[in-house]
A and B are shown apart, each in its own frame.
Chain A
Amino acid sequence: MFALGTFYFFSIFLIFTSLSVIFSKNPVNSVLFLVLSFLNTTFLFILIGAEFVGIILAIVYIGAVAILFLFVVMMLDIELIDIVSNIKKYIPLASMFGIVIISEIIYLTVVKVSKGDLVFQVSNTNNTESIGNVLYTKFFIDFQLSGIALLLAMIGAIVLTHIYKPSIKRQNIYDQNSVIGSERVSLKNVKKGEGIDT
């Protein structure tokens, strides 16, 4: 009973925050609501016993992605968008999609959930351990491929933002370290009363 109550509380809160993401006029507020909705999702995951996924979601999405969004939104000087003027244009299409999706959900819940397929098998190992068991064995290739995708993303980010200009002076550490003393300093025997030509 308690679990059900908490589930409903967090899911209704999640729906509310997700709607607020769309309807806030200030983009900064939107991002903060997004953080809140991620947090609610974390609670929902923990409620069904998937504590590892929940904590990862909190760390990755709130700790990194959403904060990055927040920085970007605060850096960009976006004018407050007047949603009310735009919303009329999209209402017919949006309501069409909405009706289709809602009718699908109602249909599916009536047909499917009554069968009780939602119960998953519980194993003896805990979440982290069972993910660790399959990550490097069953999903080895997928795991490595995700690493390749990240390498690509890294190269891409550098290519898109790096602008090479020859005029910019750069420090070349290899050149600096490979200097030999005899190339820079040399001992000259200067006679008294005479200068030295360089």
Chain B
Amino acid sequence: MINLSFYLPEIFILSLIIISLLIGLYYKNSNTILLGLNFIGLILISLFYAFSPESFLGGENSMIALSKIIILISTAIYILMIKKSLDLDSIYRFEFLLFVLFAILGSFVLISSDNFLTAFIGIEIQSLSLYLMASFNTKSLSSNEAGVKYFSLGALSSGFLLFGISMVYFDNSSIQFSEINKITYFSEIGLAIIAISLFFKVAAAPFHIWTPDVYEGSPTISVLFFATIPKLASLVFLFRFYNELNIKDYDSIDFIFKIVCILSLLIGAYGAITQKVIKRLLAFSSINHVGFILISIISFKFLSEGTFFFYLIIYLVTSFGVFSILISLRADKEEITLISQFSGLKTYSRSKSIALLILLFSLAGIPPFAGFFAKFFVLNAAINEGYIFISTIAVVTSVIAAFYYLRIIKNMFFDEPDSKIKVKSMFYNNITYISSATFVTLFAIYPDPLIFLINSYFN
């Protein structure tokens, strides 16, 4: 018989979804109720995870619990920003909240799955809601285009995933992770195809083609979600996939991982140089960061889980800050698109431009800020594993990447303003960017909380 207590958090999220659906349908002005209900609900589940005894979680390991806590807390912060951000384009409808909840439900299923079938369904629930979020602005042509593009390419990658799973099943007569142990050609090809599909989901090069287009077309608040929470879930699953199936034993798949890692670093750095649209630039920047995270996945012996989560958390916090600033900058009635529109931002809003400066420095990995330490630990682990070549490429690409981050900073502080920017002041966005910039700055002086958090999960 199935012990349902293992699924309690998922069941709780599902009941949140259904209650929100009913409230949203029957009460016209239900924003505050929905928001409060879901915020409190998500925080409660995260507390449940943080304080529940180990025995209760049963088969779940500490890594799964930690990633679920991170997802829950960041989603709780995220849902506070939804209403105001969508209202700027006057496209707010309460269903957006449901999609967010569905996406984290899918992420949860994906993270804690122990066989490929459950993982597949988790990926499907997660990506279905992402397609809907991409095309949420039904009035805008580019948003629809982004949704259709994301959907068709995502369906293709899901097809690859199923094909790979069927090949693995053929060889092992099982899709449980623990029972896949045959190193034969069928298994190897199947696992390689599954890995490719997962690379597509996390937008690692050369499976990144959809990223810039989807980021450019979708509403910015959806892009904030794409770049952080589902990506974290897919990366955690990729980490589990690599470790629990002992991908190191399959030489060819390990080689594919290394190639994808190098290509992500290079394409993430070189692709962004010529970009004129800020969201495309951030898309390429996220590809570059995925490259770094892949380094921490492949060098998994030395302090790996800690390094991995360290990088993920810092990347997540920084992205939240950057995107919440980006949402609040408007050119007349449209959102800001071009990098050149950033010129002279400091005359419009000094606090936002300074926060953006700090966050971009952190993304570029410049020493006093948190991004530097994240990159430092990843490179440290890689060099200890003997990946000198990949580490060299990582360092070189982060120098190249610094160029385009610094160009935005130059635009903001040293160029004359040539376009009208309207700086919207939105309460939750302000809180988000201020706290994220503070976190990134103070990390060098007072890193104890984050290190304590990670240490308490991985001794």
List A residues at the B interface (Cβ < 8 Å).
Answer: 104, 107-108, 111-112, 117, 137, 139-142, 145-146, 148-149, 152-153, 155-156, 159-160, 163
Contact = CB atoms under 8 A, between A and B. Distances in A.
B340 interface: no
Interface in B260-294: none
Contacts of B14: 148
A72 B253 CA distance: 41
A140 B118 CA distance: 11
Nearest to A136: B2
Could you tell me the dominant secondary structure of chain A's interface residues? helix
B27 to A, nearest CB: 14
Contacts of A155: 21, 95, 98-99
A108 B118 contact: no
Given A142-B117, A159-B95, A107 B125 contact: no
Interface stretch (B127-135, B227-235, B360-368, B399-407): B127-135
Contact of A145 (B2, B122, B132): B122
Contacts of B71: none
Interface in B126-156: 128-129, 131-132, 135-136, 138, 147
Contacts of B170: 117
A117 B109 CA distance: 32
B110 to A, nearest CB: 11
B128 A156 contact: yes
27 contacts: A107-B185, A108-B185, A112-B185, A140-B2, A141-B118, A142-B117, A142-B118, A145-B118, A145-B125, A148-B14, A148-B125, A149-B121, A149-B128, A152-B99, A152-B102, A152-B128, A153-B128, A155-B21, A155-B95, A155-B99, A156-B99, A156-B128, A159-B95, A160-B132, A160-B135, A160-B147, A163-B138
A142 B185 CA distance: 28
A148 B105 contact: yes
Nearest to B21: A155
Contacts of B136: 159
A142 B121 contact: yes
Contacts of B99: 152, 155-156
Contacts of A142: 117-118, 121
A36 to B, nearest CB: 21
A23 B21 CA distance: 45
Contacts of B124: 149
A142 to B, nearest CB: 5
Interface string B1-30: 010000100000010000001000000000
